[in-house]
Amino acid sequence: MPEPTTTHDGFTDPRADLRWGTTSALLADAAARLGTAEAIVDGDVRLTFAGLDAAVTEAARGFLAAGVGKGDRVAVWAPNTARWIVAALGLQRAGGVLVPLNTRFQGTEAAFILRKSRARLLCVVGEFLGRDYPASLAAAAGGPAGGRPYADLPGLEKVVLLDGSAARAPLTTWADFLSAGASVPVAEVEARALGIDPDDLSDMLFTSGTTGNPKGAMCTHGQTLRAYAVWAAVVGLREGDRYLVVNPFFHGFGYKAGWLASLIVGATVLPAKTLDVPEVLRVAREERITVLPGTPTLYQTMLEHPDFSADGVAHLRLAVTGAANVPPALLYRIRDELGFSHIVTGYGLTESCAIVSMCRYDDPLETIAATAGRPLPGLEVSVVDGEGKPVPSGTEGEILVRGYTVMKGYFGEESETAATVDADGRLHTGDIGVIDADGRVRITDRIKDMFIVGGFNAYPAEIEKVLDSFDKVAQSAVVGVPDLRMGEVGAAFVVPRRDTLLDPEEVLEFARANLANYKVPRQVHIVGELPVNAAGKVLKNVLRDRLSRT
């Protein structure tokens, strides 16, 4: 077993890339070490680590029987379930590359990524939240043709139903998929798994696509294992934890910082299909949940839900939040009202295995409220000006990342890759931030979200942080809008606290008292909720579209 390395701040890099190398080897080792301990609890489904390993081998036999070869892309389009995990680990054991699809996608969006990734096989649910996923894909890509399930997706050879949906042409049920795999010897699966290296691709996560077309960021087994073994160490995830994963598996937060990190440390995963607060509270109480990470939007929804109470959350100890700048007021509410003993924040993006920096589990709340923590051990994070030159500590600029988490590139997008990862291997994140004297990262904003008011740069995250500190405000989002005199000005969308009446003028008065005049929004719109994608990010393009239509 390789020797772990200790970082300057006392946290250990377990070097999971050297210890296991692949997700298949990780699972086999977990099964040997943890055996009958619970790996996944999903309703009536309870899988031990040994049981999960056996189920994954059975799935891998199915993928081999379906013709999946090393490096072939296999998509999964489904909500969080135990079978999602089995399918993902099974296709990876067979040498395939996981391509998760957003459960909020329409058929045209799913077809775009299936076509772009050249996926050979799709695992999908028949229905979720009233939507027929295969039917929506057929509407976008045509029906069966030329021996393929969808006419306009000639590279897609087979579609497998993950749930219990009835058989319907041209779809294959999960039971039939596994039956076909029974003809593949287990020794063939073992040989395929042994032929996978740490440098082979494990997954291809497509960027959120809130602007432009989605691009597939390619990551390997080794870099993912190393990153999330370190992640688990710095946030304090540990063996025996019971982790309710409400973040979607198609996102790095639910997949890599969710069930994969749990597998690394030996925690139990409890998948949640949707954010249903009463159901979350029931599961937390009955299953003695200890870990409940989520986006700021998720916690905000819980805290503002009329059915929320502190009952049944006595075992909660660890909250991990990200995906946006976290208002200090919200962090204090998470600690005081949800009862967490440890709260950490972090910063990441799809192109860097979804992780760059993390606060440590023993950081004071003041540090967690103000920063996104220190870079993961082994990563080089720097800040540069508009000309690409390094800036002094505490000076704002673009965040660059170099090291083992940086993607291998965008699939089939050489020019886009070259524009994002330079010749020196530095990932240009497009995020504005500073690194303080203690080496902690603070994200100011996205470059694309910045707007210029009369020659002054205005950063929405800074303005939102102030608005969110107003005791009548639950959440806010600020966008730039055209203005004949100033060029651009800010427009704020504000969600009031529960059972609170809020007038736009009150918000403006508070902003004028706490912000420079050019940062004060010129418009305030009181709304019941903000539009977000399934990863918890506010869809600011939707807000801009609303304004353009008024």
Give the model confidence (pLDDT) of 498-533 as tens digits: 999 999 999 999 999 888 888 999 999 999 999 988
pLDDT score at 487: 80
Q: 450-548: same fold as 48-216? A: no
Residues of the chain with pLDDT under 50: 209-211, 323
Q: Which residue has the tokens 């399918």?
A: 87
- Which of 53, 381, 22 has its CA nearest to residue 193? 22
- Which of 324, 319, 313, 314 has its CA nearest to residue 348? 324
Q: What is the pLDDT of residues 432-467, one digit of tens each?
A: 899 999 999 998 877 778 888 876 778 888 899 889
- Topology of domain 275-446 in CATH is Rossmann fold (3.40.50)
Q: What is the pLDDT of residues 12-47, one digit of tens each?
A: 789 999 999 999 999 999 999 999 999 999 999 999
Q: What is the pLDDT of residues 94-134, one digit of tens each?
A: 999 999 998 888 898 899 999 999 999 999 999 998 889 99
Token representation of residue 11: 């946290």
Token representation of residue 396: 């704002």
- Which of 216, 223, 270 has its CA nearest to residue 247? 270
Q: What is the mean pLDDT of the chain?
A: 90
pLDDT score at 168: 85
pLDDT score at 322: 66
CATH class of 450-548: alpha beta
pLDDT score at 550: 75
Could you tell me how many helices (H) and strands (E) the chain has, helices first?
19, 29
Cα gap 315→282, rounded to integer Å:
13
- Which of 520, 514, 530, 462 has its CA nearest to residue 486? 520
Cα gap 127→142, rounded to integer Å:
18
Delimit the domains of the chain by residue range: 48-216, 275-446, 450-548
The Cα-based distances of 246 to 124, 132, 298, 445 in angstroms read 19, 22, 9, 26
SS3 236: coil
pLDDT score at 209: 41
User: Is residue 282 within 8 Å of 324, Cβ to Cβ?
Assistant: no
Kindly report the pTM of this predicted structure: 0.85
pLDDT score at 158: 97
User: Is residue 262 within 8 Å of 243, Cβ to Cβ?
Assistant: yes
Q: Which residue has the tokens 């990441």?
A: 348
CATH of domain 48-216: 3.40.50.980
